[in-house]
Amino acid sequence: MIRIGIECEQLEGKRFGVGHTLAQLLDAATKVPDVEKNHRFILYFKSEIPNDAFLAHPLFEKKILTGGMIPRSFNVFYHILLPIRYFFDRLDCFFFPSYMLPAFFIGKAVVVLTNDVYWEAHHGTLPFKYRLAYRLFCWWAAKRAQRIMTISRFSADELKAFYGISDARLVVNSWGLEQGITAFEKNDE
């Protein structure tokens, strides 16, 4: 059985880009016939498990990592608890959909990176603390993750130039998760 951890903090509360994409990805995984026979996804939440119907699928094991004596801090959740859970839960791999790799993570990881995040970290208008976090932890992801997933060949080419990532570590996986809707149809709405 392959055990894959997934950082799911982006599913909590109001969802934006990463949260919507992750929800679609997890929902799509539940539709793969017999996927739970060989795979187990352990979903790690910071403070609450949303009540999406797809999360009830037997493919998923859900864990909240903060609360009680452990502060509900993103930094504690992301940089300390997730790396610890990789080893304690005996995971084969960890998936990080939010562009970064935790500071203390040592293990097999797949991280989603895009060229837009690099631009935001170096030229964007986000508050300095967020730009600094992107600079540090996106760079760490680019250097340490076993695989970097990105959304297009163009993005992959820019990531290679920005971070010096080899083709062997880059995977292009377009976000074609919404069935039956093309990019042009979405823009017409």
Q: pLDDT tier at 175 (50, 70, 90 boundaries)?
A: low
Q: State the CB neighbour count (10 A cutoff) for residue 84.
A: 13
CATH of the domain at 72: 3.40.50.2000
In this prediction, residue 173 carries a pLDDT of: 83
Give the residue numbers spanning the domain of 174. Answer: 2-188
In the predicted model, what is the mean pLDDT of residues 85-113? 94
Long-range contacts of 11-14 (CB under 8 A, 24+ apart): 11/45, 11/50, 11/52, 12/45, 12/46, 12/47, 12/48, 12/50, 13/48
In the predicted model, what is the mean pLDDT of residues 136-145? 92
Q: pLDDT tier at 174 (50, 70, 90 boundaries)?
A: confident
> Number of folded domains in the chain?
1
In the predicted model, what is the mean pLDDT of residues 67-78? 90
- Dihedral angle computed from the Cα positions of residues 96, 98, 142 and 5, in that order, rounded to the nearest 10 degrees: 0
Sign for the pseudo-dihedral over CA of 39, 47, 28, 95:
negative
In the predicted model, what is the mean pLDDT of residues 95-109? 93
pTM, entire model: 0.86
Percent of the chain residues past pLDDT 70, beyond the cut: 92
Average pLDDT, the chain: 89
In this prediction, residue 59 carries a pLDDT of: 95
Residue 181 has pLDDT above 60, yes or no: no
Rounded Cα distance, 109 and 91, in Å: 10
Q: pLDDT tier at 111 (50, 70, 90 boundaries)?
A: very high
Query: Identity (one letter) of the amino acid at 128?
Result: F
Ranges 68-82, 115-129, 139-153, 171-185: which has the least confidence: 171-185
